[in-house]
Amino acid sequence: MKLYLKYDINIIFRKTLENQLDKIGIAYKINGLGEVEFTQPLNPQEVKELTVLLSTYGIKIINDHKTEIVQRIKDTVTEMVNNTTIEKSFKTSVYLSEKLEYSYTYLSSIFSENTYSSIESFVILKRIDRAKSLIIKDRLTLTEVAYTLGYSSVAHLSAQFKKTTGLTPTVFQRIIKQREANK
């Protein structure tokens, strides 16, 4: 017997983080996807213990300011792409600037310097990943996917999908249906 599972990685991350933070018994507040605020400073032993506990789950503590900003950009973009309540016509640059409280020019510069890629390219990759998920898991039509992700048209979605994956969304759908039929 096989079970197919659907999960939300953000909920898993948050619960894992809460469980590990509760183990060390320090008061905290989770501010966002990758940010924890402690009510009192951590001593070196607590930081070491927390580092070991979190590393078991592949979670790393970031100590470098630029790396922290890049991670916050990635987390915010992921949140933006996955959040169905955010207005899709909202410009990424405005959203990131308001959410992270830095100018978009600064954020773009830090991101490019550290990832050798642009924020725009990262947004496209996340949108296409989300499109694949909507096609596979939610069984949405291409029109519904385009609307959900804020594309101006199915043609625009298809062009970005093909450029990113090498396949058109229609061919991708066909491959998924074939795989499921062969199971």
Domain that holds residue 163: 65-181
Provide, rounded to the nearest whole percent, the portion of the chain with pLDDT above 70.
Answer: 94
Please tell me whether residues 78 and 159 are part of one structural domain. yes
Q: Is residue 132 part of a domain?
A: yes
The Cα–Cα gap between 144 and 154 comes to 9
Please tell me whether residues 80 and 44 are part of one structural domain. no
Mean pLDDT of 123-134: 93
What is the value of pTM for the model shown?
0.70
Please tell me whether residues 124 and 82 are part of one structural domain. yes
Most confident range, picked from 36-45, 87-96, 120-129: 120-129
Please tell me whether residues 120 and 168 are part of one structural domain. yes
Structure tokens, 55: 């590393």
Please tell me whether residues 22 and 74 are part of one structural domain. no
Question: How high is the mean pLDDT of the chain?
Answer: 86
Per residue in 61-81, pLDDT (tens digit) is 877 888 889 989 999 999 888
Mean pLDDT of 166-179: 88
Provide, rounded to the nearest whole percent, the portion of the chain with pLDDT above 90.
Answer: 31
Please tell me whether residues 121 and 148 are part of one structural domain. yes
Please tell me whether residues 38 and 71 are part of one structural domain. no
Give the CATH number of the domain where residue 176 resides: 1.10.10.60
How many structural domains comprise the chain?
2
Please tell me whether residues 73 and 22 are part of one structural domain. no
Per residue in 29-56, pLDDT (tens digit) is 887 667 788 888 888 888 888 888 888 8
Decide if pLDDT at 7 tops 80: no
Q: Comparing 33 with 167, which gets the higher pLDDT?
A: 167
CB 80 within 8 A of CB 39: no
Please tell me whether residues 70 and 159 are part of one structural domain. yes
Please tell me whether residues 74 and 104 are part of one structural domain. yes
Characterise 18 by phi-psi region: left (phi > 0), alpha (psi -120 to 50), beta (else).
Answer: alpha
Q: Is residue 148 part of a domain?
A: yes
Please tell me whether residues 48 and 74 are part of one structural domain. no
